[in-house]
């Protein structure tokens, strides 16, 4: 049997040789890699460009009862956040007269798909009407659970019962918000009307709803908590 051996030295063919067979393969691999990097960069850029979508699910205190739309709490929070460089879009889903149960009933269409965070501001009408605190708690907890299931971050805006409702009612109602916030690890703003409640200069003639300057105070005091909410959205895996 005769063996034919290739002489030692430079290999035949053009492996690695300019203009040879491997050059198109190398270029193709580089092109695919470049396209993959470009696609990843584009996707990341689009994600960074998309505003953080926040819905304020509430009652007349967030709807802006008696005020122009631009003076309502959601609008003022959005302007304040944008002035600080945040890319946000805040939707006003406040309905005057709404209760915690009412908010639960309209949750799915008030908080659409694509929402990143919710400021939950409900319970004031429950308290004013002397509603059973157990029912208010149950409705708020159901809202929170459903939002958590949808991976939506929550800021819970607290409410206090009217001080003339008796000690038993206060003891049953007031702890609802801090207890739910602790149980579900929510951002908590303890009392939506802090500083504003009871000040005639900061409320409309009904003594219940804030004036535009009153809303300014609420927005300013709540802003750090909303920034904490946004930080949670950004840190999600």
Which 3 state secondary structure label does DSSP give 188? Answer: strand
Q: Phi then psi for 168, rounded to 5 degrees?
A: -65, -40
Which 3 state secondary structure label does DSSP give 51? Answer: coil
Closest CA to 162 of 173, 151, 152: 173
Indicate the length of the chain as a whole number: 237
Catalytic residues: 60, 206, 209
Give the start-end residues of each E strand in 150-209: 153-157, 187-189
* Contact (CB, 8 A) for 226 and 81: yes
* Contact (CB, 8 A) for 155 and 225: yes
Q: Which residues pair with 189 in a beta bridge?
A: 157
Q: Phi then psi for 56, rounded to 5 degrees?
A: -95, 105
* Contact (CB, 8 A) for 99 and 128: no
* Contact (CB, 8 A) for 159 and 124: yes
- Please state, in angstroms and rounded to a whole number, the distance separating the CA atoms of residues 132 and 135: 5
- Please state, in angstroms and rounded to a whole number, the distance separating the CA atoms of residues 237 and 233: 9
């Amino acid at each position: 049997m005769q063996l034919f051996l290739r002489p030692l030295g430079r290999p035949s063919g053009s492996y690695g040789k300019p203009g040879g067979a491997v050059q198109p393969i190398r270029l193709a691999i580089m092109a695919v890699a470049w396209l993959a990097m470009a696609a990843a960069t584009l996707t990341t850029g689009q994600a960074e460009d998309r505003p953080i979508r926040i819905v304020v699910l509430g009652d007349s205190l967030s709807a802006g009862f008696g005020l122009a739309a631009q003076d309502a709490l959601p609008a003022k929070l959005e302007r304040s956040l944008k002035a600080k460089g945040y890319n946000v879009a805040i939707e006003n889903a406040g309905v005057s007269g709404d209760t915690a149960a009412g908010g639960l009933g309209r949750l799915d269409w008030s908080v659409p798909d694509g929402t990143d965070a919710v400021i939950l501001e409900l319970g004031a009408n429950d308290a004013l009407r002397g509603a059973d605190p157990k029912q208010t708690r149950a409705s708020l907890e159901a809202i929170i659970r459903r939002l958590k299931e949808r991976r939506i971050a929550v800021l819970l805006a607290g409410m206090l019962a009217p001080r003339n409702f008796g000690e038993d009612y206060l003891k049953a109602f007031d702890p609802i918000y801090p207890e739910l916030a602790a149980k579900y690890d929510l951002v908590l703003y303890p009392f939506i009307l802090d500083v504003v409640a009871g000040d005639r200069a900061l409320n409309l003639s009904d003594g219940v709803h804030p004036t535009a300057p009153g809303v300014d105070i609420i927005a300013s005091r709540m802003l750090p908590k909303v920034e904490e909410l946004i930080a949670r959205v950004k840190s999600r895996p």
